[in-house]
């Protein structure tokens, strides 16, 4: 099979750990050039070294807080100046803090929206002029099943991912007459450090452990999406069917599965 990622410039936010790092490694194994963006320089250096050692591909990195709009513009300008193009943007940076709505701290609410929503908006707006100029590209937004089915203690996180889905769907239609693809990936829970911050009690991770996806599986599916773009990818597939059923029959799902949804 032809290697569709060979020499492609693939920018990944939140690339220093978790899904972002796994994906960067897999991109490099496919011959692509992963451009790593994250907040912690030390982790970025380690990630870049691991990619070079494992694949022989040099993975440039830029220390970036996606919530800082001016820094986002500066970083993407540097990337375009270096490579003259960006083939794929993967908006992966994001985090959650699970709390009952009444207990949620306003600063935590603002922080999640700054990264999960406004950071995604800033990076997408920064990459669009280049992609429109080249009339080619792919924007992949890592959303969540939580964006389709809000559960107790995830009201704010779910709201951010619902916003991501709305932005993704609208932007896709705006770019319909171009060669720029816009996709959403909606994973369920994944075995990554994500839950170390989201659920400090450890209860949620313990309750859903048997349903958790391996980061290697999710990364492989995103690689497939880059090779064969489509509007949306739900992982795992059965969970996507479940959220669709909820959208059609919300009262039934809340009544029947209410206790199962309250596992945090």
pLDDT digits (tens, 9 = 90+) for 119-162: 999 999 999 999 999 999 999 999 999 999 888 899 999 999 99
Q: Is the pLDDT of residue 60 over 60?
A: yes
Work out the average pLDDT over 20-42.
97
Catalytic, out of 83, 157, 204, 246: 157
What tokens were used for 67?
């919530």
Would you call 20 helix, strand, or coil by DSSP? helix
Q: Let me know how long the chain is.
A: 264
Domains defined along the chain, listed by start: 9-261 (3.40.50.720)
Q: Catalytic residue at 157?
A: yes
Task: Please say whether the beta carbons of 60 and 34 come within 8 A.
Answer: no
pLDDT band for 107, please (50, 70, 90 cuts): very high
Q: Is the pLDDT of residue 58 over 90?
A: yes
What tokens were used for 52?
């070079």
Percentage of residues in the chain with pLDDT exceeding 70? Answer: 83
Q: What is the pTM of this model?
A: 0.89
Would you call 184 helix, strand, or coil by DSSP? strand
């Amino acid at each position: 099979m032809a290697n569709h990622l060979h020499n492609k410039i693939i920018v990944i936010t939140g690339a220093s750990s978790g899904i972002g790092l796994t994906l960067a490694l897999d991109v490099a194994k496919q011959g692509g050039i992963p451009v790593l963006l994250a907040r912690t320089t030390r982790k970025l250096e380690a990630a870049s070294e691991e990619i070079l050692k494992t694949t022989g591909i040099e993975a440039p990195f830029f220390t970036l807080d996606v919530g800082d709009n001016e820094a986002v513009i500066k970083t993407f300008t540097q990337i375009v100046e270096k490579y003259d193009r960006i083939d794929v943007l993967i908006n992966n940076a994001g985090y959650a803090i699970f709390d009952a709505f009444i207990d949620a701290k306003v600063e935590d609410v603002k922080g999640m929206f700054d990264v999960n929503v406004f950071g995604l908006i800033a990076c997408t707006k920064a990459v669009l002029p280049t992609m429109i100029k080249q009339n080619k590209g792919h924007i992949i937004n890592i959303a969540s099943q939580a964006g389709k089915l809000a559960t107790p203690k995830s009201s704010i996180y779910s709201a951010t991912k619902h916003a991501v889905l709305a932005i993704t769907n609208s932007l896709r239609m705006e770019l319909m007459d171009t060669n720029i693809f816009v996709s959403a990936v909606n994973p369920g829970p994944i075995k990554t450090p994500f839950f170390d911050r989201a659920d400090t009690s450890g209860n949620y991770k313990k309750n859903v452990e048997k349903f958790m996806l391996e980061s290697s599986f999710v990364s492989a599916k995103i690689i497939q999406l880059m090779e064969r773009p489509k509007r949306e990818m739900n992982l795992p597939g059965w969970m996507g069917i479940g959220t669709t059923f909820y959208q059609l029959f919300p009262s039934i799902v809340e009544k029947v599965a209410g206790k199962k949804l309250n596992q945090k």
